[in-house]
């Protein structure tokens, strides 16, 4: 996309884009190339002995059941996290939009978690849900007689990281929804009310369709968030366990490379992730370009 009216200059645009280019070339593309290169190598962690193994790392990766399991977990985890945080965010935003009192306080309280480091929120959630000393775990087990044990039970652990990850993202979704809701003309809703449409029906027929671009945008952003940015939460809460039940693809890159020191496999996984990113980027690009109507 380019403006219809633009400046022409032979050197200025290059100068303007230079800092950005330098930074991404040095700190993104060069390391990424290194990772690509590394994915064809088998080497000891210190880089003393290195051999070229062609696609060995990739075939090893894709013939490994656990990698497929990790892919499955990643998708399940990402979509559950996205759905949960979007649904909660939307519900809370819709309610906050209806509320007439204490608007500023409500908003403030709801935006707060956005600022908290994943590492910190992971600690807090672990503190709440740990089967031996967590207060929520304690109450759940005592009151409902549910056997809750994220340390041993993979499903419980996955549930815990989904909740912790979704929690952090509720604020983000809330902000977008509240802004979207505020931009819906009041007159439209009032007209429907006069026609006798119930509040729920009004929400379904008017509000939701008008929010759908926001909804779709948030779906993409949330999946991306769950894919890539939940590293800190998984790292502090479960470290991918138990039995690999919370081993997402990003965490596996870290775990195999950093803890396992299997740099070749880790690099191969980075390459797979980069491909996923390119696809996601292309999809989002297409969607964003289509959805947005530029004025002027």
Beta-strand pair 41-43/50-52: antiparallel
- Smallest distance, other proteins to C-beta of residue 279, A: 11
Question: What is the spatial distance between Cα 67 and Cα 70, in angstroms, rounded to a whole number?
Answer: 5
Nearer to other proteins, 76 or 103 (CB): 103
CB of 76 to other proteins, least distance (A): 18
For residue 147, the minimal CB distance to other proteins (Å) is 12
CB of 117 to other proteins, least distance (A): 4
Q: Which residues contact 82 (CB under 8 A, 6 or more apart)?
A: 169, 219, 222, 223, 225, 226
Buried b vs exposed e over 62-73: b needs ≥16 C-beta within 10 Å?
eeeeebeebbeb
Q: Nearest approach, Cβ of 63 to other proteins (angstroms)?
A: 11
Kindly tell me which of 55 and 152 has the beta carbon lying closer to other proteins.
152
Q: Which is nearer to other proteins, 76 or 98 (CB)?
A: 98
The Cβ of residue 95 has, within 10 Å, a number of other Cβ atoms equal to 10
Q: How far is CA 36 from CA 21, 67, 211, 271, 272, in A?
A: 20, 19, 41, 6, 10
Nearer to other proteins, 26 or 76 (CB): 26
Residue 76 or 127: the one with the smaller Cβ distance to other proteins is 127
């Amino acid at each position: 996309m380019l403006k219809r009216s633009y400046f022409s200059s032979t050197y200025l645009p290059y100068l303007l884009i230079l800092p950005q280019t330098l930074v991404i070339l040095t700190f993104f593309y060069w390391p990424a190339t290194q990772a690509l290169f590394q994915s064809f190598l088998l080497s000891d962690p210190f880089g003393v002995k290195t051999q070229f193994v062609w696609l060995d790392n990739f075939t090893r990766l894709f013939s490994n059941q656990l990698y497929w399991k990790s892919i499955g977990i990643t998708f399940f985890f990402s979509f559950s996290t996205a759905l949960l945080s979007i649904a909660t965010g939307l519900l809370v935003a819709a309610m906050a939009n209806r509320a007439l009192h204490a608007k500023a306080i409500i908003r403030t309280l709801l935006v707060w978690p956005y600022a908290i480091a994943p590492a910190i929120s992971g600690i807090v959630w672990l503190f709440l849900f740990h089967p031996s000393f967590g207060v929520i775990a304690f109450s759940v087990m005592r009151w409902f007689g549910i056997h809750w044990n994220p340390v041993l039970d993979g499903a419980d652990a996955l549930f815990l990281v989904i909740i912790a990850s979704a929690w952090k993202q509720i604020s983000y979704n809330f902000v977008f929804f509240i802004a979207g809701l505020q931009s819906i003309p009041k007159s439209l809703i009032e007209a429907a009310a006069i026609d006798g449409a119930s509040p729920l029906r009004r929400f379904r027929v008017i509000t939701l369709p008008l929010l759908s671009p926001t909804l779709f945008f948030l779906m993409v952003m949330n999946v991306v968030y769950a894919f890539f940015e939940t590293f800190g939460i998984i790292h502090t809460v479960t470290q991918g366990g138990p039995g690999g039940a919370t081993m997402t693809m990003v965490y596996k890159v870290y775990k195999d490379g950093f803890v396992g020191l299997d740099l070749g496999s880790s690099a191969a996984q980075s390459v797979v992730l980069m491909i996923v990113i390119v696809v996601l980027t292309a999809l989002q690009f297409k969607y964003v370009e289509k959805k947005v109507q530029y004025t002027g």
